[in-house]
Structure formats: structure tokens, C-alpha cells
Amino acid sequence: MSETSGLPPADTSPDKAIPLPIPHPRPPRLPSSLRNLQAWLPIYLSKTDANLTRVSSILSTPSGTDTVLLTICYTSLLTSSVLSSISLSRIRQQALSVIEKAISLPPNTTLYISTSDIPPSRLLIVSARLKALSSLISDFRIFARLWGLLGMYSWGKRVWNQDGGDQVVRRIVGVQVLSNIAYQYLENMAYLSSKGVCGWSAEKQNRAWVWSSRFWAVHVLLDFLRLGRERSEQRKVVKWKGREEEAEREEQEFWARWRRQLVVNLAYAPLTVHWSLEKGLVGEFWVGLLGSVAGLAGLKELWRKSGLS
């Protein structure tokens, strides 16, 4: 007898069948570049959204808008000056090369140079456009300052009604208010006259531009005195017991603000002297560089504050 003769027959009904796994095709593997894009795209979008929000916050205030425009204005002028210098240097080298070749020609040789075949310098084109942008922004900023006398009235009112504080600093700021009122009045009249709104002559306009810059120079000089006074007073501050951490944080904030204002004034000081002279003092490169330093210092602080909100 067979060993399997006593076993029951196998149940081959469909209900009792064990289903076999059906192989599914694996999805195609994405290239590494697409996988990296899928991984980093949400992060990029999140950072872009955060940065755009901070830029919107800065541009939502008149002072923030002016700081951004100031920075663009002077960095454009600086870039224009650099590109112009590079382009002119290349043109000078090409001209010297042509002269050397002309000298090496035999005597009585006619040399003909067609200037129409010389392509325009792209660097000079970009330089001219950046300079035009800088000039446009400068004109707009002067126009936007036409209402500056109202802000100076509020500034002077706050100084007048101020109670307490260092009286020396208060007097310095009071003189700054008067200096800025004179500066703003002269600038407004010179600008409006240059547009035909007011009737000052060209000669009177030029004098007004120069004297407005001199009053601005007085403001910068007084700001150095104010910073010196605040520096000496800050060194006398005694930390209260139980407030060491808070006092240390306040002191760090004071010195950060003090250094930033010092950098801005150090950048503005040569510019005020330059514009206070009828023939100027420095070229466009230095005007762009010093203005860029002042603008970037202010823009950096605005960017920091926009990230705290």
C-alpha cells in the first residue's frame, strides 16, 4: 500500500486556493537632479517667502524705502564708475596698439581707420544706464524730501518737549534741528527752481545747493559731537545689582547702534565736504563708494530688525 493512500484528496476548489502575489512594476527612478529639486524646492520657496516678507516690511515705511533707494542709487553710481574705468582702459590699450602698428608702417603710407566698424563698448552702455538710474533715483529722493520740513517740525517739537536726559545732547540735537531746517529749505527752493516751479536764477540755485550741503555738513559735525558725548556718558553707567544680564544686553545694543551711526557719519562727512565746495572734492567713484557704505550700513540694520518682527 502507498504511504499516501490514506490521505484525503486535495481540495482544488477556487475558494480554497491560495492566491499568488502578482508582481507590480517598480516606478521609474527619478534622476538625481530631479530628486534634489524635490527635496530642496520647499526650502527654497520658504526662504524666498520669508525674504520677500522682510523686503515688503522694509519698503512699507518711508524711511525704509529711502534707505533702499539710497543704497541702489550709490551702488549703481559706484558700479557705473568701475565699468567706465575698465572700458576706457581697454579702449586706451586698443588705441595704443593701433598707434604702434601705424608707427611701424613704411613712410608715406596712408592709414585709413573706419570707426563705423568698431562695435560699441557694452561696458560703456551698461555704465551709462546705471548712471542714468542713479540720477533718476537721486532726483526722486530729492522730490520725496520736499515734505521734509514737516518731519523736522515734529522732530524739533519732540526735542523741545523732552524731559530729562542729557542736556548737552539735547542742545546739540536742537542745533541739528535748526541746521536741517535751513538745509531742507534751501534744497527745496533750489530743486523747485530747477524745475521751473520757483523763480530763483541758476546762479542762486547753485549757491543754494552749496549752502544746503554746508548746513548738512554742520549736522554731521554735530553728530560726531553727540556720539562723543554719548560715548563718555555710557562709560559712566553703573550696572545695578540684580540686573546684570539686562544691563549687559542694553549696553551691547547701545554700542552696536553707536558704531553703526559712527560708520554712517564717517561715510557722509567727506560727501558733505565734497558737495559744500563749488568745484567738488572727489570723483564719482568715491561718491559712489562712500554713499554705498552709508546705505548698506542702514540697510543691514533694517534687514536685522525686519527679521525680529
* DSSP code per residue over the chain: --TTTTSPPP---GGGPPPPPPPPPPPPPPPHHHHHHHHHHHHHHHHHHHHHHHHHHHHTSHHHHHHHHHHHHHHHHHHHHHHHHHHHHHHHHHHHHHHHHHHTSPTT------GGGSPPPHHHHHHHHHHHHHHHHHHHHHHHGGGHHHHHHHHHHHHHT--SS-HHHHHHHHHHHHHHHHHHHHHHHHHHHHTTSS---HHHHHHHHHHHHHHHHHHHHHHHHHHHHHHHHHTT--PPTT-HHHHHHHHHHHHHHHHHHHHHHHHHHHHHHHHHSTT-SS-HHHHHHHHHHHHHHHHHHHHHHHTT-
Q: What are phi and psi of 33, to 5 degrees?
A: -65, -40
**Confidence grade of residue 31 (pLDDT, cut at 50, 70, 90):** low
Average pLDDT, the chain: 84
Report whether pLDDT(261) > 90.
Answer: yes
Per-residue model confidence (pLDDT) at position 21: 63
**Confidence grade of residue 115 (pLDDT, cut at 50, 70, 90):** low
Q: Express each pLDDT in 268-303 by its tens digit.
A: 999 999 999 988 899 999 999 999 999 999 999 998
Q: Which residues contact 89 (CB under 8 A, 6 or more apart)?
A: none
Cβ pair 77, 287 in contact under 8 A: yes
Q: Which residue shows C-alpha cell 564717517?
A: 266
Per-residue model confidence (pLDDT) at position 150: 93
Report whether pLDDT(182) > 60.
Answer: yes
Per-residue model confidence (pLDDT) at position 166: 85
Residues 205, 120: Cα–Cα separation, whole Å: 37
